[in-house]
Amino acid sequence: MLANDTRNSPPATKNADERLTWDQICQRYPDEWVVLVEFERPDPDDLAFDAAVVLSHHKTSKAASPDVKAALKHGQEAGSFFTGQLIPPLYEIVVP
């Protein structure tokens, strides 16, 4: 493997130590898939988190998958989350 080959390295973060709340993440990356690591959890037995570091952000979940896999491979807790609305709003059905 070449010295500058990063295919097996976790993706680099722009602000690797910047922890953001979910609201801050949604504002910064609207309607995108974000890969989060370094979760700050109020209860270690709960999946809810107060803040996390954004490892990367993508337009599709498929594009986020390699970053999640790379982070997990390097022993990080990681996950991808969508910052927008996944389910379209219910529309009123008008019957004539």
Please provide residue 91's backbone torsions phi and psi, each rounded to the nearest 5 degrees.
Answer: -105, 145
* Helix locations, 1-96, DSSP H: 22-28, 61-73
pTM: 0.74
**Under 8 Å between Cβ of 37 and 70:** no
Angle at 35 between CA 34 and CA 38, to 5 degrees: 125
Q: What percent of the chain has pLDDT over 90?
A: 66
Structure tokens at 21: 């709340």
pLDDT of residue 86: 79
- Where the chain has pLDDT below 70, the residues are 1-16, 88-96
Q: What is the pLDDT of residue 17?
A: 74
Kindly state the tokens that stand for 18. Answer: 């910047």
Tokens read off for 69:
């896999």
> Helix, strand, or coil here: 90?
coil
pLDDT at 96: 65
Alpha-carbon 30 to chain mean position:
12
- What pLDDT digit, counting tens, does each position of 44-68 carry? 888 899 999 999 999 999 999 999 9
Q: Are 10 and 68 in contact (CB under 8 A)?
A: no
